[in-house]
């Protein structure tokens, strides 16, 4: 279990403000936020490379805030793999154990199950420069897991991989967590990763924690316009005629996704401004009352005097 | 089918001009070396090159250059680490100080060293306290070598450490390595090739030094030998152009051998780790 308690850090150009996160044992926790939101800085505080101005980091009930990185038993997987290029794969993986003076043979035995799970038996004698991106990231992951860390930190681990490798790695990571039940804090700006991997997520922006919870719950109930927009709700409008049509309270903002709208005769009327053909879909810019909205559809709609009726398949109400 | 690629970017007369200008410069470098070497006949190797006097002076030179290189690496690696990893006010000034020895005339270096370490000067008094004297000895040669050649090794190591992402060191620490273990097990092995390249650069720069040595140790007591660079000058003064051929050739052969070794090391990708970001 790891607790981040009231952690604040003021840097010249950036402030991390009063961050509170509690990650349970075996939980896969995803910290989601745009680039430059403070995610990596928070990871660096957990590793011990950066000391916060205030607040505490507690790992398994021990306050480690002032402990150096080597005393924290943390696994750290970085986006650029950070492999030791002068060591063979097997020596990379067993590095943490060898530092702990575990004899080479015993070290190999204790990482064997990780190597088997990640299916990297055939590259153990290679050097990092001989590996593909996906293989490198597996080695980096195996190396971090080899020390049975109290928590595994993953900093945008899939960002340097090509799309196909990324998808495969994502599934393997999911499976590996199901098998090994390690505690993980995974930092990313990718919704897909958060959706697939997370038990819970936290959303961070400009150094502030915005919302914590299960992905589904936050998606169904975004606490702010920022969260909704970050989660892909590209229409966020305040239009009482719409609220009336949807049967919800007045003066509440409603968020919905441009591809979760259908054109339907018994829908609400909108005014078309323009239609743009984007490869296999049509993007319709329209107005509802005074608000602008975007609709994406696969078929060119039948329009009557610039008017169209739409039905919103799924919407959420912004609570702030 | 193999198709020979014709480079159409430049026209013939342009290419020819570039070639001619380049060859003039290359010949300028090669001709003096070739001319000196051409004056040795195989039968006179022992009478011209490997005379006891030449061997002595080369021995002292190589010995002093090796000692100075070891000291440069010992002090230079932490300095290179400081310059590549730490941020502090005045970093640019320290960086510039490291480069000063390349800029100032080396006879001036000799004078400066004497002003600090001669018997009556503060450094000399301190040396005297430990029973050490400076001037006309190997110590003076080694110190002058360190001064004039340290920059090359330090700069090479600094670049190598800079090219290694700091995150690698952070990861090693999370895996349980202390700061010193990170240096010895990660940073040193990963920069070994650059350390060796830097060492060879500094070593060869030391071997070719004359200016500073003419001031601090033109000859070495007790045997009155001179380091090789100075010996060339001495033999030229005493016996003229022809007389300096032997020791000059010996120096050329040694320097070229080192140069070839350096090039081989630089070409050996896997013998030593080459820091490079591969994604």
Give the model's confidence band at B277: pLDDT under 50 very low, under 70 low, under 90 confident, else very high: very low
Instruction: Calculate the average pLDDT of chain B.
Output: 89
Angstrom distance (rounded) from CA B251 to CA B208: 8
CB–CB contact B174 A69 (8 Å): yes
**Does B180 lie at the interface with A, CB-CB under 8 angstroms?**
no
Judged against a pLDDT cut of 80, whether residue B273 lies above it is answered with no
- C-alpha span between B42 and B52 (Å, rounded): 18
Are residues A100 and B176, on separate chains, in Cβ contact within 8 Å?
yes
pLDDT at B275 over 70: no
pLDDT score of A300: 84
pLDDT tens-digit map of A67-121:
999 999 999 999 999 999 999 999 999 999 999 999 989 999 999 999 999 999 9
Q: What is the predicted pLDDT for the residue at B269?
A: 54
Higher pLDDT, B223 or A259: A259
> What percent of chain B lies above the pLDDT cut of 70?
93
Confidence at residue B264, expressed as pLDDT on a 0 to 100 scale: 83
pLDDT band at A160 (very low <50, low <70, confident <90, very high): confident
| Cβ pair B177:A127 closer than 8 A | no
* B153-162 average pLDDT score: 96
Q: How many CB atoms lie within 10 A of CB B47?
A: 10
Exposure of A302 by Cβ count < 10 A (0-12 exposed, 13-18 middle, 19+ buried)?
A: exposed
Q: Which residue has the higher pLDDT, B203 or B275?
A: B203
Closest B-chain CA to A67: B174
Helix, coil or strand: residue A272: strand
CA distance A277 to chain B (A): 36
If pLDDT is split at 50, 70 and 90, which confidence band does B276 have? Answer: very low
Nearest chain A Cα distance for residue B171, angstroms: 6
DSSP string covering A56-90: EEEETTEE-TTS-GGGS-EEEE-TT----TTS-HH
Whether A49 contacts A68, CB under 8 Å: no
Q: Helix B12-38 and helix B245-267: axis angle, to 10°?
A: 130
d(CA A113, CA A143) in angstroms, rounded, equals: 12
Answer for the pair A34, A24: CB distance below 8 angstroms, yes or no: no
Residue for token pair 């097990």: B185
Give A192 to chain B, closest Cα distance, Å: 23
Nearest to B213 by CA among B197, B232, B200: B232
Question: Alpha carbon A224 to chain centroid distance?
Answer: 18
- Rounded to an integer, what distance in angstroms lies between the CA atom of residue A125 and that of residue A123? 6
Q: Are A263 and A312 in contact (CB under 8 A)?
A: no
For range B40-64, the mean pLDDT:
86
Band (pLDDT 50/70/90 cuts) for residue A175 is very high
Going from the C-alpha of A255 to that of each of A192, A200, A232, the distances in angstroms are 20, 22, 10
Task: Name the minimum distance, in Å, from the CA of B195 to any CA of chain A.
Answer: 15
Cross-chain residue pair B279–A96, CB shorter than 8 Å: no
**Interface predicted TM-score (ipTM) of this complex, two decimals:** 0.88
Q: Which of A73, A83, A86 shows the shortest C-beta gap to B189? A: A86
pLDDT band at B70 (very low <50, low <70, confident <90, very high): very high
Smallest Cβ distance to B174: which of A74, A127, A160? A74
**Model pLDDT, residue A141:** 96
pLDDT of res. B2: 59
Distances (CA, A) of A203 to A8, A41, A217: 16, 14, 13
Percent of chain A with pLDDT over 90: 81
Alpha-carbon span B80 to B162, nearest angstrom: 9
pLDDT band for position B17 (cuts 50, 70, 90): very high
B87 close contact with A: CB closer than 8 A: no
Which chain B residue shows the shortest CA-CA distance from A133? B279
Query: Which of A253, A230, A249, A239 shows the shortest CA–CA distance to A310?
Result: A239
> What pLDDT score does A220 carry?
92
Q: Do A147 and B277 touch (CB under 8 A)?
A: no
- The verdict on a CB contact (< 8 Å) between B176 and A99 is yes
C-beta separation of B227 from B66 below 8 A? no
Residue of B nearest to A77 (CA): B171
A99: nearest CB among B168, B181, B277: B181
pLDDT for B240:
86
Query: What is the chain A residue with the closest CA to B272?
Result: A86
Chain B closest-CA separation from residue A82 CA (Å): 5
pLDDT at A64 over 90: yes
Evaluate whether A139 touches A89 at the Cβ level (below 8 Å).
Answer: yes
Answer whether B85 touches A (CB < 8 Å). no
Most A CBs within 10 A among B174, B185, B189, B279, hence the mutation to make, goes to B174
CB-nearest to B176 from A47, A86, A96 is A96
Question: Helix (H, G, I), strand (E, B), or coil: what is residue A38?
Answer: coil
Do the strands A254-256 and A235-237 form a parallel or antiparallel pair, or are they unpaired?
Answer: antiparallel
Binary contact (A80, B277; C-beta < 8 A): yes
Looking at every residue in chain A, the average pLDDT score rounds to: 93
| Contact status of B278 with chain A (Cβ, < 8 Å) | yes
Cβ contact (<8 Å) for B176 and A75? Answer: no
Q: How far apart are CA A226 and CA B244, in angstroms?
A: 81
The answer to whether the CB of B206 falls within 8 A of the CB of B163 is no
Q: What is the pLDDT of residues B102-150, one digit of tens each?
A: 999 999 999 999 999 988 888 889 998 898 889 889 999 999 999 999 9
Chain A CB contacts of B190 below 8 Å: 84-86
Band the pLDDT of B268: cuts 50, 70, 90: low
Instruction: Name the residue facing B170 among A49, A73, A95 (closest C-beta).
Output: A49
- Given a cut of 90, whether residue A136 has pLDDT beyond it is yes
DSSP chain B: ---PPP--SS-HHHHHHHHHHHHHHHHHHHHHHHHHHHT--GGGIIIIIS-HHHHHHHHHHHHHHHHHHHHHHHHHHHHHHHHHH---TTHHHHHHHHHHHHHS-HHHHHHHHHHHHSTTSHHHHHHHHTT---SSSHHHHHHHHHHHHHHHHHHHHHHHHHTS-HHHHHHHHHTT--HHHHIIIIIHHHTHHHHHHHHHHHHHHHHT--HHHHHH-SSBTTTTB--HHHHHHHHHHHHHHHHTHHHHHHHHHHHHHHHHHHHHHHH-TTTSPPP----
Region A123-136 average pLDDT: 94
């Amino acid at each position: 279990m790891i607790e981040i308690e009231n952690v604040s850090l003021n840097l010249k150009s950036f402030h991390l403000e009063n961050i509170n996160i509690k990650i349970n044992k075996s939980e896969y926790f995803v910290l989601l936020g745009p680039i430059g939101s403070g995610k990596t800085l928070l990871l660096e505080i957990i590793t011990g490379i950066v000391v916060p101005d205030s607040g505490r980091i507690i790992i398994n009930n021990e306050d480690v805030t002032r402990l150096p990185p080597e005393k924290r038993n943390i696994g750290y997987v970085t986006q650029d793999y950070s492999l030791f290029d002068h060591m063979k794969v097997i020596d990379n993986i067993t590095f943490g154990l060898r530092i702990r003076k575990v004899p080479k043979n015993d070290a190999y035995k204790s990482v064997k199950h990780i190597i088997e799970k990640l299916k990297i038996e055939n590259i153990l004698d290679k050097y990092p420069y001989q590996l593909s991106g996906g293989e490198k990231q597996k080695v980096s992951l195996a190396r971090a897991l080899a020390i049975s860390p109290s928590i595994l930190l993953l900093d945008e681990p899939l960002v340097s991989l090509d799309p196909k490798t990324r998808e495969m790695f994502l599934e393997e990571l999911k499976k590996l967590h199901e098998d090994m039940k390690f505690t993980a804090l995974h930092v990313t700006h990718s919704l897909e990763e958060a959706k697939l991997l997370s038990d819970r997520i936290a959303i961070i922006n400009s150094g502030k924690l915005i919302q914590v919870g299960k992905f589904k719950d936050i998606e169904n109930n975004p606490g702010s316009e920022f969260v909704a927009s970050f989660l892909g709700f590209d229409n966020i409008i305040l239009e009482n005629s719409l609220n009336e049509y949807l049967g919800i309270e007045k003066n509440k903002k409603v968020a919905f996704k441009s591809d979760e709208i259908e054109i339907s005769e018994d829908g609400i009327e909108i005014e078309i401004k323009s239609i743009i053909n984007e490869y296999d879909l049509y993007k319709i810019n329209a107005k509802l009352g005074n608000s602008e909205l975007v609709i994406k559809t696969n078929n060119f709609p039948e329009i009557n005097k610039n008017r169209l009726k739409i039905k919103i398949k799924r919407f959420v109400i912004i609570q702030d | 089918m193999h198709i020979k690629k014709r480079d159409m970017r430049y026209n013939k007369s342009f290419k020819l001009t570039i070639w001619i200008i380049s060859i003039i410069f290359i010949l300028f470098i090669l001709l003096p070396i070739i001319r000196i070497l051409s004056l040795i006949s195989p039968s006179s190797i022992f009478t011209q090159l490997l005379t006891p006097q030449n061997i002595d002076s080369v021995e002292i030179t190589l010995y002093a250059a090796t000692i100075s290189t070891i000291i440069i690496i010992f002090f230079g690696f932490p300095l290179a680490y400081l310059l590549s990893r730490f941020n502090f006010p005045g970093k640019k000034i320290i960086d510039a100080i490291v480069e000063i020895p390349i800029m100032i005339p080396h006879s001036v270096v000799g004078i400066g060293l004497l002003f600090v370490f001669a018997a009556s000067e503060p450094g000399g008094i301190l040396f005297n306290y430990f029973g050490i004297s400076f001037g006309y000895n190997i110590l003076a040669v080694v110190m002058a070598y360190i001064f004039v050649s340290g920059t090359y090794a330090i700069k090479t190591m600094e670049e190598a450490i800079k090219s290694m992402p700091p995150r690698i060191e952070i990861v090693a620490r999370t895996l349980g390595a202390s700061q010193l273990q990170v240096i010895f097990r990660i940073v040193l092995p990963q920069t070994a090739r650059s350390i060796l390249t830097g060492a060879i650069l500094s070593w060869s720069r030391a071997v070719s030094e004359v200016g500073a040595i003419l001031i601090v140790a033109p000859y070495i007591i007790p045997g009155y030998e001179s380091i090789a660079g100075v010996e060339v000058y001495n033999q030229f003064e005493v016996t003229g152009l022809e007389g300096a051929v032997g020791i000059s050739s010996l120096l050329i052969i040694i320097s070229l051998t080192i140069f070839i070794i350096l090039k081989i090391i630089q070409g050996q990708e896997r013998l030593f780790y080459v820091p490079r970001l591969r994604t």
